[in-house]
Structure 1
Amino acid sequence: MVLLFLIVANSFSYGQQKDQNDFFLAETYFRQGEYEKATQIYKKLYGKSNFNTTYLTRLITCYQETDKFLVAENLLKEKIKKNPTQGFLYVLLGHNFDKQQLKELAKINYDKALNSLENNAAYGGLIGRLFKNYSLLDYAINAYEKTMQLNESSNYNFQIAQIYGEKGDFKLMFESYINLIDKNAQYLNLIQRYASKYITDDAENETNILFRKTLLRKSISNPKNEWNILLSWLFAQQKDYKKALIQEKALYQRNPTGLSDIFSLGKNAFDNKDYETSKSCFDFIDKESILKDEKIDANWYLAKIAVATRNPETEVIFNTLFKEFGKNKQTIKLQVEYADFLTFTKNEPQKATTVLEEALSFTTSKFDKGRIKLKLGDVLVFRGKFNKALIYFSQIQTQLKGSELAQEARFKVAQTSYFKGDFDWAKAQAKVLKGSTTQLIANDAVNLFLKITDNEPVDSIPSGLKQFAKAELLAYQNKNATALQELENLLSPKNQSKNEFFNGAKPGEVIYDDVLYLQAKLFIKQAKYLEAISSLEKIIAADNQGFLTDDVYYLIAETYNIHLNDIEKAKEYYQKIVFEHPSSIYLVDARKKYRKLRGDTI
């Protein structure tokens, strides 16, 4: 008896495996357009399993692709006669008539499919899907909506929303997505993902406006936290962090369980240089939080904002924080930030070194030690102690292999080697990092790699790269006047030795643009704004289709807008980005500022 059972079981298993192999072969023929061969296999499979809708629909399609419409029609009519409650068969039959341009007969059968739902709504999902597959989008919507009316437990709002998206009816698409969340809040993250396909970072984009209006209408008629969450998300996508914070505060006031979303918003605002909103976020966290670690992290960002905005009270802020939280392992990031401030803002690198060496004694965490050593390396490069800096960077790479810190340390090795004039090693390190999993590091590595390859000497003839690297190092060390002199020498070389003779950067050369661009940024640091614009205009005059063109236009616009208060000139250059450089990373920001200067209501 047991032997008989095993034989039967093995036979069944073998039969299943053979059917799977046959189906795979049929699918291969089907995709390759060999419908005659596919027909024979699907016909055999359907004969064994005439309840399998996949076999049936594939077989019907094969008949249609080989012009055997009558065979398909007879098969479907026979099937309907035996199973009159299976309304989806009318969709297949209607499509068979459609393929023959028999529109009236097609419509009759499509309507029969919809009417069949009155007696058997269980096939509503399949009927809707078949209509959608045949691009009969209005019929598909009707099928899904009718099914939901007949069966209140069914929910096809997601499918309906996708169809409206295909039709380009974004208003109804968003309404369907919102209705889906209204029925089940668990769809929130899914809807965010699908809505993001249509939302851009431009608040004036048509779909952004439709989504915002849909949410606002819903929030008035049926208030829910989900609408605030989505509004906050929308405003954050548009980089309108101030409005996003209003929504996050409203959510927190209703349910003060956590501040992580406000923290994330503050970080995004900081990364996008909206320091005012970022400060509001972290001030709020500092006030509301009862967790020491959370308060320290918030104050770390507040200190970073003070540095970024050149707050004259920055040092007082740091000292107040150390008095409140102490110098210990919990405030490592704060100590590293303080050392950065001492070095790059106050030109006190020796004091910064002392702060960092002390910080090393507070922690046993290899990652904290890595962060400290990374900053120590930066400070040592600032002091011109390259070899010692490289030791620290190499230690991080060895001790934290594969981590983001290790990748950052490798980039520091490349950058330091570049400053030293060791271009081959710098290029080799940058080449490895071009595939970094961290986008920012990858971008920096690509830029350094291209800078070297575009400007490196050819046939031992000096190209000016060594002098330019020296100028960049001087700028890194805040020796701006000396850096400007080095750049001036590059443009009009004087007293060059025979071995180092360089004939000067010329229009049309990559290094010419690089020299002038760095020169402009240094002039801006010295508040020499007209000189900065003059340098930038020389780049445009040399080649207004160069890879720096949109950077140049944006820097000119910002200089006129922020420093010279020349609205008309600022508008002119923002407009150039909007109309001449649609793929620029500055496009959205330039458009917003152009509209604001023009007096539009944003």
Structure 2
Amino acid sequence: MKRFLFTILMLFCLHVVSGQNTKQQEIQTNSRLALSYFNSNEYEKAAPLLLEVYNLSRNSYYFRMYLTSLIELERFDEAEEQVKKEIEKFNRPSPEFLIHQGYVLRARGNIEEGDEKYNEAIEMIPGNKGNYLITANAFLQWREYEWAKNVYLQGRETVPGEEFNYELARSYLYLRDYENMMEEYLNLVRQDETQINRVQSSLASAMRLDVDDSLRDKFRTQVLKRIQNEPEVTGYNRLMIWFLLQERQFSAALRQSVSLDRRTGEEDAQIYRLGLMALNNKEYESAGNAFDYLLEKGEANPFYNQSFVQKIHASYMHFTLENPDDISEADKLAGEFQEGLELLGYSPATLNVMQEYAHLLAFYLDETEKAVSVLERGLEIPRLKSEESGVLKTEMADIYVYAGDPWEAMLLYSQVIDANKKNTLGDEVKLKKAKLGYYMGNFSWAKAQLDVLKASTSKLTANDAMDLSMLIGNNLNLDTTAVPLQMFSRADLLFFRNKDSLALATLDSIAETYTYHSLVDDILFRKSKIEVSRNNYEKAAEYLEQIRTDFAYELLADDALFLQAELYNYQLDRKEEAKILYKEMLTSHPGSVFVDESREKYRELREVFPDETTTPEEEFFMSEETEPDEFD
């Protein structure tokens, strides 16, 4: 008998589960179809399905979409009737459905009756935070932001201890009332500084929509006022620092951080992160100042060693990009490197210091023997990983290329490749080895190596390999002599060795001797790269413009266009012209590898410099859904 009852119970449970699964499948199928019709504005087809899904799921989301469909179809009587039916199912009217009813009335033009329902809904909210949030959310779903704000304000007066700062701030955002929005966010930070990340996230979203910078101006004004009037609230300072970092005002952010640290003594980690951010944004002076501040605190500071390393790195990057011809500056920097290695020692943690020090000695001070000795000492560090020793050996090989010893360089490159077959360093060094063959004039061998590297998992390596392979392939067999390409590769080697003037003279010699050779556009592009390295951005842009004008259908046209746009955007402060060039990339070179980056930067600049007109074809090319291979 017990076994029989157990069997009956199991069959009943299986029947219930099967019924639930069938119901769930029906909800999923109908909801997908209903949403498809709704999103396509086919409200006649969407309405009955949405009502069916609501009746099955009792999810008010579908009921609201059902009402929206009826409103769009102007079937107001039907919408009112359905709302009333739902209200009658409750012993006590639900504020949410009273709001639905009010919205339907307002949609058909009965504003006063609709407002009465809204007020009725607000008056009957049970006195706890959860119910106020639900009621306000019902208003928000209908974009009745003013009414949602009123709900929160009533909740503030009714629910003990609840200020609804965050919720009110959102309502003010929707109403574009930035001043009151900021007041609520700042009040929230005053009450509970742990909410600062939440506030920052919300403000970041709001600022992305702030086309005319009015929110940024109000933020700056109101936060500074709070800092002055309530200096004990450190959250205001942290908000200001966050804002300045968003605006990439690293120097101002550092001043605020130092000021705060002198009060709290707890900002070392923040200042170190600020230094790294400045470094990554090529603000080397601000980065150096941040690390200097931490170094001044002495060796007891937990960030002392990292700051020392990063300070030297910032100085090195600033030198190589801004003052590469200043020998006295190079000597001073070499002293800093030597001091750093004496203090920190030769260890895996200082590999980057050794590499940059050696590069500085060889390529800028012509002290190749000393540079090699630094790297050899680094290679004596016990238990180095293959990738770590590979970095040092690669730098040593580069130095031998600089010093005119290609065979020793080739041997070292081969050792690194053999030891790093399973990481990206291996492919990077294969590219260097192929380039060395190219410098030496072994074009066929170099091209074979480069063609293999086109399949590299590293996009940068693959692109560089493809570019050089195409250069060799397009120019090797056009004449009975390979002299022009040999001269060009010699110029590339001189450029690699920082012999810019000799490289330019060699390129000029090719252009004068072989006036109509296919290398002419490549010569212009190399000249632009050399001028960029010398910070002669206007001259570089002139060469790129010449490529775009005279060689618009050559392979380098999109490279020249993108580099010119980058120069205008970042070095020459001609951002509106940069926007035009990024846009040209999208419409004229839709298959280029630079399309995605150009699209992103064009959209950023378009917010500052809106287009006067945009054709449907242009909008198509600018959409993220465009597949580049459709236009190859």
TM-score by length of 2: 0.73
SS of residue in 2 equivalent to 1:209: helix
Query: What's the counterpart of residue 594 of structure 2?
Result: none
**8 Å Cα contact 2:569-2:575 kept in structure 1:** no
**Which residue of 531, 543, 548 corresponds with 1:520?**
531
Deviation at 1:286, TM superposition (A): 1.9
1:514 CA drift (Å): 0.7
> 5 Å matches for 1:158-557?
158-199=166-207, 205-222=213-230, 223-257=232-266, 259-288=268-297, 290=299, 294-307=303-316, 308-309=318-319, 310-366=329-385, 367-384=387-404, 385=406, 386-395=409-418, 397-398=420-421, 401-402=422-423, 405=425, 409=429, 412=432, 416=436, 419=439, 421=443, 422-423=446-447, 425-426=449-450, 428-429=452-453, 432-433=456-457, 435=459, 442=460, 446=463, 449-450=466-467, 453=470, 457=474, 460-461=477-478, 467-493=487-513, 503-504=516-517, 510-518=521-529, 520-521=531-532, 524=534, 537=542, 539-540=544-545, 543=548, 548=560
> Where does structure 2 lack aligned partners over 5 or more consecutive residues?
320-328, 583-597, 606-632
Residues 46, 134 of structure 1: CA spacing in aligned structure 2 closer, same or farther, 3 A cutoff? closer
Residues 430/151 of structure 1: CA separation in 2 closer, same or farther (3 Å cut) = farther
Residues 1:347 and 1:335: Cα distance change in structure 2 (over 3 Å)? same
Aligned to 1:327, the other structure's residue is in SS state: coil
Does structure 1 retain, via aligned residues, the 8 Å contact 2:475–2:485? no
Q: Which of 80, 84, 87 is the aligned partner of 1:80?
A: 87
Do residues 106 (structure 1) and 114 (structure 2) align? Answer: yes
**For 1:127-153, what per-residue CA distance to the aligned partner results, in whole angstroms no more than 9, with x for missing partners?**
322222222222222233333432245
Q: Do structure 1's residue 137 and structure 2's residue 157 form an aligned pair?
A: no
Alignment CA distance shift 1:191-1:127 (3 Å): same
Pair 1:121–1:76, CA change in 2 (3 A): farther
Letter in 2 for 1:432: S
Cα displacement (A) at 1:486: 1.4
In the aligned structure 2, how far is the partner of 1:427 from the partner of 1:235? 46
2:78 to 47, 64, 71: 71
Gaps of 5+ in 1: 436-441, 495-501, 559-572, 591-602
Q: Is the 8 A contact 1:468 1:515 kept in 2?
A: no
Q: How many angstroms apart in 1 are the aligned matches of 2:468 and 2:146?
A: 55
| Match of residue 97 from structure 1 | 105
2:346 match: secondary structure: coil
Tell me how far 1:98 sits from its aligned partner.
3.5
Query: Offset at 1:212?
Result: 2.1
Show CA shifts across 1:251-281 (max 9, x none).
4334434633222222232333433322222
Residues 47 and 199 of structure 1: is their aligned pair in 2 closer, same or farther, counting only changes over 3 Å?
A: closer
Q: Does 1:28 align with 2:3?
A: no
TM-superposed CA distance for 1:581, in Å, is 2.0
TM-score, structure 1 as length reference: 0.76
Distance across 2 between alignment mates of 1:315 and 1:9: 79
Question: Could you give the per-residue CA deviations for residues 453-480 of structure 1, whole angstroms, max 9, x where no partner exists?
Answer: 4785169326966644432221111233
How many Å apart are 1:26 and its aligned residue?
Answer: 2.1
For the 8 Å contact 2:226–2:236, the answer to whether it is kept is yes
Q: CA RMSD in A?
A: 4.2
Aligned length: 546
Query: How far has the Cα of 1:537 moved from its partner?
Result: 4.1
Cα deviation, residue 23, structure 1? 1.4
User: Which of 101, 112, 117 is residue 125 of structure 2 equivalent to?
Assistant: 117
Any conservation in 2 of the 1:22–1:41 contact (CA below 8 Å)? no
**Structure 1 residue 27, shift from structure 2 partner:** 0.9
Distance 1:514 1:169, change over 3 A: farther
Q: Which amino acid aligns with 2:296?
A: K
Q: State the percentage of identical aligned residues.
A: 19
| 1:279–1:302 Cα contact (<8 Å) kept | yes
